[in-house]
């Protein structure tokens, strides 16, 4: 019924001496076999009588609503998590800033019929497991969720970004069907960007012993030099006191034991918890770094009455982070300029419901570009995003949804720190972003002070910043924040540094250049912005402006460009028909725009020589075309059909341009870098003849979770990619996988990302489209087919 991801196997490998009891925790994925139906935020009858039935007056009495275990859901839709019910809704124009900000999707207060989602899942529990504790863990539900098990209300979570866990032990029906029900209410927004709706992250069933490591923040691993400190909070939920002990084993990444702490005995009264601090040395530790993100594992073992009762495995890295007011950021004592990007969490095709593989795919793309840091703007990220950053070597600036020290939001920040503080990738906390009403005020200062103190208490190993769009103002939040974050407004930053020399400075949000991939001429009807680094809103700058400033100043720690990828919503500088942002260095699918090559040229050591635009301009013969070269070579000579158009020296952290009168053929750049010749060309192509499929990998695990990104393009009869192809392509799969979303990066496309007509299809935009395929649980080959009118079909076997 469910796939098991057990900590157990790793523990058994390295601890064969320990007889691991049956009762050691299990962490079972609960993503499959859900039933889903939309309710209604304004019509109780269409919300399955929720708010008409008095279901909160007596314990376990959810009768007459979907929270009742006897409710008949057989006509509800079958869904698998992660699930975003908004991504499949049609785009709809409404003149309203919030709808515009959320990408013209009909969800929120104006659309009560689309803003409630009910989820139900039935599962069996074996009586042999009774005596354990059972905890349901929901990693993220957008939003305002309420949870019932077998008709008993177990709790709710206001946040659409923080996860929540519920102990359901007392309500389990052994050897019978249990029903877990979640109601999500997305009628209120939390942000000003696309947020999706539904159970869009994983759900887990954790089975644990009564004596166990605390569910929230139970293990805190931090390192200084080569000393690893492990703080473990153990809880006794038995109905009698417990003789317990705890110790930790550290393994390297192959699972080999390299250190073991002494077993620390203690007794716990009923309901008592105790935190045990242990220090272990790894003298020859391999450090976690951006180049070699080496991960160790700390396996914490808890015994009760002499038997292993619980075990928790935490991946960690041995690394130091230092922030210097004059020299910026140091990782392991070496200076690191922050070459960062801000990102929202949605992706083409799937909305906010990303398979884990897509997190790795996106972080991989950013690394390839040369980025070394990711800001989780403006909300707690999906846990697997941080796993990807730990594994691939990407620093993270981790941020709660907003700046507020009221009980709800203080708790949200607390939960975020407790959840994420073991990740070596997290190098700093952000306490919030652009709080217009608050940031300059005394209240803002008090709230910030509270959150900073909380952060210092829960994670003294790091410091924090705040994303302030306040120019040089030293008021409110800025008076107390340890690291001054600048959102834009960098014109006076030298003066700020001079006046406040003891406050380190980072660019929490910079650039906001707007570009449309593959479009080089402004189009106010289709709402496209030319793909040159030249258009930006009044508060922002080009990529070149901010990076030239940052690169020259050691005390300027670096910054986070807004944004790594386009995202749904905030369709700046246009509105409808534009439905997603233009801020991305890559588009919604992760296809590079021209500005990508600017960053790649100056953020990596690779030989980069990129010509924009493409060379298909029928009808423009003899007219001037702006040619833009991004390169890190020393000089470039440009040739049109073999004729030199001149040679230019490359300015550091800049770009080169030519104005070329268009003539079909070949535009070639010849560059020299340290005496080495590099060439690159764009050619006028014929029309699309064949479809080309490029998968992110060719094998899939039959685990209902694994996913592959397939990029689709078209080539002409001579095999040259056609950069302006716009053909409609149909997709199908057979065997052990299903398509879960399609996209093409067109910020004004109203084509569905999901399958609404019974068949999957998408037009190419700028010659490209993307399909996301997820494994099911069938073994065997998957065949994927892409067909288009007049095009040679392409197939792929996975
Ligand atoms: C910032 C804001 C971001 C985004 C960006 C667009 O002010 O923090 O969320 O809206 O502007 O440039």
Q: What angle do the packed helices 356-369 and 594-603 form, to 10 degrees?
A: 70
Q: Are 29 and 4 in contact (CB under 8 A)?
A: yes
The pLDDT tens digits for 738-761 are 999 999 999 999 999 999 888 999
Rounded distance between C-alpha atoms, residue 735 and residue 754, angstroms: 20
The first and second tokens of residue 295, run together, are 């991960």
Nearest atom in ligand 1 to 191's CA? 9
Q: Is 629 helix (H, G, I), strand (E, B) or coil?
A: strand
Distance from Cα 192 to the centre of ligand 1, integer Å: 9
User: What would you report as the CA-atom Rg of the chain, rounded to the nearest whole angstrom?
Assistant: 27
Q: Provide the CA 125 distance to its chain's centre, in angstroms.
A: 33
Query: Residues near ligand 1 with C-beta < 6 Å?
Result: 378, 433-434, 469, 487, 509, 512, 537, 540, 562, 570
Domain 617-683, CATH homologous superfamily name and number: Immunoglobulins (2.60.40.10)
pLDDT for 126 equals 95
Instruction: Provide the CATH number for the domain formed by 323-603 in this structure.
Output: 3.20.20.80
Distance in Å, CA 766 to ligand 1 centroid: 27
Is the confidence at residue 503, as pLDDT, over 50?
Answer: yes
First to last CA, the chain: 24
Neighbours of 652 (CB within 10 A): 10
- What's the CATH fold of domain 212-316? Immunoglobulin-like (2.60.40)
Mean pLDDT over the full length of the chain? 95
Burial classification of residue 732, based on how many CB atoms lie within 10 Å of its CB (0-12 exposed, 13-18 middle, 19 or more buried): middle
Ligand 1 pocket test: which of 541, 562, 565 has the largest number of ligand atoms within 8 Å of its C-beta?
562
CA of 469 to the centre of ligand 1 (A): 9
CATH of domain 31-208: 2.60.120.260
User: 670-687: per-residue pLDDT in tens?
Assistant: 999 999 999 999 999 999
The pLDDT score that the predictor gives to residue 768 is 98
Give nearest CA residue, ligand 1 atom 6: 512
Q: Which atom of ligand 1 is nearest to the CA of 512?
A: 12
DSSP state of 584: -
- 440 contacts: CB under 8 Å, gap ≥ 6: 470, 473, 475, 476, 477
Q: Stretch 398-410: mean pLDDT, rounded?
A: 98
Q: Is 53 a catalytic residue?
A: no
| C-alpha to C-alpha distances, 125 to 122, 176, 601, nearest whole angstrom | 10, 7, 56
Q: Where do we find the tokens 């720690």?
A: 557
- The per-residue pLDDT for 17 is 34
434 belongs to the catalytic site: yes
Q: Is the pLDDT of residue 21 over 50?
A: no
- How do the domains of the chain map onto residue ranges? 31-208, 212-316, 323-603, 617-683, 690-797
Cis check for the bond before 378: say yes or no (omega within 30 of 0): yes
Q: What is the pLDDT of residues 276-309, one digit of tens each?
A: 999 999 989 999 999 999 999 999 999 999 999 9
Atom of ligand 1 minimally distant from the CA of 378? 9
| pLDDT recorded at residue 381 | 98
State the sign of the Cα–Cα–Cα–Cα dihedral 376, 381, 385, 389: positive
Alpha carbon of 468 to ligand 1 centroid (Å): 11
Q: What percent of the chain has pLDDT over 70?
A: 97
CB atoms closer than 10 angstroms to residue 745: 26
β-pair partners for 213: 234
pLDDT: which is higher, 780 or 340: 340
Is 690-797 the same fold as 212-316?
Answer: yes
Work out which ligand 1 atom sits closest to the CA atom of 469: 7
pLDDT of residue 132: 95
509, 544, 570, 705: the catalytic one is 509
Phi and psi for 311 in degrees, rounded to 5? -150, 135
pLDDT number for residue 24: 85
**Residue 86: alpha-carbon gap to chain centroid:** 18
Between the CA of 584 and the centroid of ligand 1 the distance, in Å, is 12
- Substitution candidate for ligand 1 out of 512, 559, 561, 581 with most atoms within 8 A of CB: 512
pLDDT for 516 equals 98
Task: Specify the ligand 1 atom closest to the Cα of 434.
Answer: 8
Query: What is the per-residue pLDDT for 19?
Result: 36
Residues 451 and 414: their CA atoms lie apart, in Å, by 9
Pick the residue whose CA is nearest to atom 2 on ligand 1: 434
Contacts of 714 (CB under 8 A, 6+ apart): 688, 689, 690, 691, 692, 721, 722, 725, 727, 764, 767, 788, 791
Task: Encode pLDDT of 509-530 as tens digits.
Answer: 999 999 999 999 999 999 999 9
Task: Enter the DSSP assignment of 497.
Answer: H
Q: 16-30, 84-98, 292-306, 381-395: which range is least confident on average?
A: 16-30
Residue with tokens 């080309």: 692
pLDDT digits (tens, 9 = 90+) for 698-747: 999 999 999 999 999 999 999 999 999 999 999 999 998 999 999 999 99
| Among protein residues, the one whose CA lies closest to atom 12 of ligand 1 | 512
Catalytic hit among 190, 195, 384, 434: 434
Matching CATH number, 690-797, of 3.40.50.2000, 3.40.50.150, 2.60.40.10, 3.40.109.10: 2.60.40.10
Q: SS3 for 625?
A: strand
The encoded tokens of residue 620 equal: 């423009």
- From ligand 1's centre to the CA of 347, what distance in Å? 18
375, 434, 581: which to mutate for ligand 1, most atoms within 8 A of CB?
Answer: 434
Please report the atom of ligand 1 found closest to the CA of residue 570: 10
> Above 70 in pLDDT, residue 310?
yes
* Spatial CA neighbour of 743 closest among 574, 587, 623: 587
Q: Is 363 helix (H, G, I), strand (E, B) or coil?
A: helix
Cα–Cα distance measured from residue 36 to residue 59, given in angstroms and rounded to the nearest whole number: 25
CA-nearest residue for atom 10, ligand 1, is 570
Cα(472) to ligand 1 centroid in Å equals 18
Taking the centre of ligand 1 as the mean of its atom positions, its distance from the CA of residue 667, in whole angstroms, is 37
Give Cα separations from 775 to 109, 357, 716, 755 (angstroms): 35, 11, 32, 17
Confidence of residue 324 (pLDDT cuts 50, 70, 90): very high
The C-alpha atoms of residue 486 and residue 156 are separated, in whole angstroms, by: 35
pLDDT digits (tens, 9 = 90+) for 196-225: 999 999 999 999 999 999 999 999 999 988
- Ligand 1: centre distance to CA 454 (Å): 26
Atom from ligand 1 closest to the CA of residue 377: 9
Q: What is the pLDDT of residue 20?
A: 39
């Amino acid at each position: 019924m469910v796939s098991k991801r057990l900590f157990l196997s790793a523990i058994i490998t390295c601890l064969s001496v320990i007889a691991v009891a049956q009762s050691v925790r299990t962490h079972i994925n609960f993503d499959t076999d859900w039933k889903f139906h939309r309710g209604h935020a304004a019509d109780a009858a269409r919300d399955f009588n929720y708010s008409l039935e008095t279901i909160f007056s007596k314990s376990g009495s959810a009768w007459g609503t979907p929270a009742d275990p006897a409710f008949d859901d057989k006509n509800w839709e079958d869904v698998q998590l992660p699930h975003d019910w908004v991504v499949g809704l049609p785009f709809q124009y409404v003149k309203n800033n919030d709808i515009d900000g959320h990408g013209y999707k009909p969800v929120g207060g104006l659309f009560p019929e689309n803003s409630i989602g009910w989820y139900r899942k039935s599962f069996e529990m074996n009586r042999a497991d009774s005596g354990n504790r059972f905890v349901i863990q929901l990693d993220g539900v957008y939003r305002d969720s309420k949870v019932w098990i077998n008709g008993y209300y177990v709790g709710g979570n206001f946040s659409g970004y923080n996860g929540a866990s519920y102990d359901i032990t007392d309500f389990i029906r052994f050897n019978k069907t249990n029903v877990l029900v979640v109601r999500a209410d997305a009628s209120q927004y939390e942000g000003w960007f696309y947020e999706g709706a539904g159970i869009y992250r994983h759900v887990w069933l954790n089975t644990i012993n009564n004596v166990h490591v605390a569910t929230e923040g139970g293990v805190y691993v931090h390192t200084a030099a080569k000393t690893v400190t492990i703080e473990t909070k153990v809880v006794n939920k038995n109905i009698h006191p417990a003789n317990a002990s705890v110790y930790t084993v550290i393994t390297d990444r192959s699972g080999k034991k390299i250190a073991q702490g002494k077993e620390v005995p203690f007794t716990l009264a009923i309901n008592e918890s105790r935190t045990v601090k242990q220090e272990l040395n790894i003298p020859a530790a391999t450090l976690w770094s951006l180049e070699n993100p080496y991960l160790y594992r700390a396996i914490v073992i808890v015994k009760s009455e002499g038997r292993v009762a619980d075990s928790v495995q935490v991946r960690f890295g041995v690394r130091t982070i230092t922030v210097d007011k004059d020299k910026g950021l140091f990782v392991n004592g070496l200076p690191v300029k922050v070459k960062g990007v801000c990102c929202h969490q949605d992706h083409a095709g799937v909305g906010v419901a990303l398979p884990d593989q897509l997190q790795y795919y996106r972080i991989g793309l950013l690394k390839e570009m040369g980025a070394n840091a990711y800001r989780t703007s403006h909300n707690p990220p999906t846990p697997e995003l941080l796993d990807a950053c730990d594994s691939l070597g990407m620093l993270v600036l981790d941020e709660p949804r907003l700046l507020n020290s009221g009980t709800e939001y203080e708790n949200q920040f607390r939960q975020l720190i407790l959840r994420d503080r073991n990740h070596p990738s997290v190098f700093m906390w952000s306490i919030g972003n652009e709080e217009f009403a608050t940031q300059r005020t005394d209240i803002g200062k008090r709230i910030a002070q509270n959150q900073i103190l909380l952060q210092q208490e829960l994670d003294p190993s790091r410091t924090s910043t705040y994303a302030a769009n306040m120019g040089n103002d030293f008021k409110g939040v800025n008076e107390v924040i340890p690291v001054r974050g600048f959102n834009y407004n960098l014109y006076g930053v030298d003066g700020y540094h001079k006046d406040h020399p003891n406050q380190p400075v980072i660019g929490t949000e910079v650039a906001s250049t707007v570009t449309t991939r593959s479009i080089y001429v402004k189009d106010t009807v289709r709402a496209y912005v030319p793909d040159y680094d030249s258009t930006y809103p009044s508060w922002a700058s080009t990529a070149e402006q901010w990076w030239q400033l940052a690169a020259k100043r050691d005390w300027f720690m670096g910054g986070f460009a807004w944004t790594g990828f386009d995202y749904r919503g905030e369709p700046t500088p246009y509105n409808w028909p534009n439905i997603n942002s233009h801020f991305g260095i890559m588009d919604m699918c992760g296809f590079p725009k021209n500005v990508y090559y600017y960053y790649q040229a100056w953020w990596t050591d690779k030989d980069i020589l990129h010509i924009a635009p493409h060379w298909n301009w029928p009808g423009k013969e003899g007219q001037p075309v702006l040619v833009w070269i991004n390169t890190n070579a020393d000089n470039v000579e440009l040739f049109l059909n073999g004729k030199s158009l001149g040679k230019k020296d490359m300015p550091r952290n800049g770009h080169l341009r030519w104005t070329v009168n268009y003539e079909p053929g070949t535009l070639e750049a010849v560059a020299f870098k340290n005496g080495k010749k590099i060439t690159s060309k764009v050619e006028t192509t014929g029309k699309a003849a064949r479809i080309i499929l490029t998968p992110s990998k060719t094998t899939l695990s039959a685990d209902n979770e694994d996913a592959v990104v397939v990029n689709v393009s078209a080539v002409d009869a001579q095999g040259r990619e056609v950069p302006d192809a716009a053909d409609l392509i149909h997709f199908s799969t057979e065997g052990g996988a299903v398509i879960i979303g399609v996209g093409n990066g067109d910020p004004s496309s109203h084509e569905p990302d999901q399958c609404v007509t019974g068949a999957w299809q998408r037009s190419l935009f700028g010659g490209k489209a993307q399909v996301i395929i997820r494994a099911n649980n069938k073994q065997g080959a998957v065949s994927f087919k892409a067909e288009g009118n007049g095009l040679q079909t392409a197939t792929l076997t996975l």
